[in-house]
């Protein structure tokens, strides 16, 4: 330690720690000195430190258990979501595909083709539906199940009416 002309310690003997705190030269110790140094604490302080360490160990263990549980739940949720997505894709694929025509729809489709052929390949939708004695919903389902064998276009004289055309 250096003393200035007044007998007090000079500022050049102080050191800065990484946190920016001024440390006197006596307190600045090398790492080797720290490991070999002896610290005296009252028994109450040591018991408090030990108790605090035990509490912190228990808390860390508790957090580790919670984290493990959360990770396990996340893995289960991920697997469930992946399965749900796969099932949803299968359901969407089934919905996007037109349903197979039922035997009665196949028979009705043949009847409709014959009806159109008998009328020169063209006929108004309303007239064809009435001749087949089908409701609007049934006739719509029949047309949807015919896989494009019959085309529907607006009537050139009255756009509100539709004409069925045999392809």
Count: domains in the chain: 1
Interatomic CA distance for residues 48 and 7, integer angstroms = 42
Q: Is the pLDDT higher at 95 or at 5?
A: 95
Backbone angles phi, psi at 166, to 5 degrees: -80, 130
- 87, part of any domain: no
The model's pLDDT over 41-63, given as tens digits with 9 standing for 90+, comes to: 899 999 999 999 999 999 999 99
pLDDT at 2: 45
Q: Does residue 141 have a pLDDT over 50?
A: yes
Residue 136 lies in a domain: yes
Q: Copy the structure tokens of residue 63.
A: 């957090």
- The verdict on residue 91 lying in a domain is no
Residue 118 CA to residue 105 CA, distance in Å, equals 20
Residue 49 domain flag: no
CATH of the domain at 150: 1.10.10.10
Q: Is residue 144 part of a domain?
A: yes
User: Does 95 reside within a domain?
Assistant: no
Say what angle helices 136-144 and 103-118 make with each other, to 10 degrees.
90
Residue of 72, 149, 71 lying closest to 110 (CA atoms)? 149
- DSSP letter (8 states) at residue 12: G
Structural contact between residues 132 and 112, judged by C-beta atoms closer than 8 angstroms: yes
Please give the pLDDT value at position 143. 86
The answer to whether position 123 is within a domain reads: yes
Residue-number span of the structural domain to which 158 is assigned: 103-166
Let me know if residue 109 belongs to a domain: yes
Three-class secondary structure of residue 164 per DSSP: strand
Using H for helix, E for strand and C for coil, what is the string for 88-141? HHHHHHHHHCCCCCCHHHHHHHHHHHHHHHHCCCEEEHHHHHHHHCCCHHHHHH
């Amino acid at each position: 330690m250096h003393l200035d002309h007044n007998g007090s310690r000079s500022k050049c003997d102080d050191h800065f720690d990484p946190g920016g705190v001024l440390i006197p030269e006596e307190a600045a110790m090398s790492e080797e000195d720290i490991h070999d140094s002896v610290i005296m604490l009252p028994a109450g302080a040591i018991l408090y430190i030990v108790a605090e360490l035990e509490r912190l160990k228990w808390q860390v263990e508790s957090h580790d258990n919670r984290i493990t549980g959360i990770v396990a739940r996340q893995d289960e949720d991920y697997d469930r979501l992946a399965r749900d997505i796969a099932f949803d894709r299968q359901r969407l694929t089934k919905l996007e595909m037109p349903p197979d025509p039922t035997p009665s729809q196949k028979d009705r489709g043949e009847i409709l083709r014959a009806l159109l052929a008998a009328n020169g390949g063209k006929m108004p939708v309303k007239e064809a539906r009435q001749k087949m004695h089908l409701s609007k919903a049934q006739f719509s389902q029949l047309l949807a199940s015919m896989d494009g064998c019959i085309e529907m276009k607006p009537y050139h004289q009255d756009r509100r009416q539709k004409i069925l055309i045999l392809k």
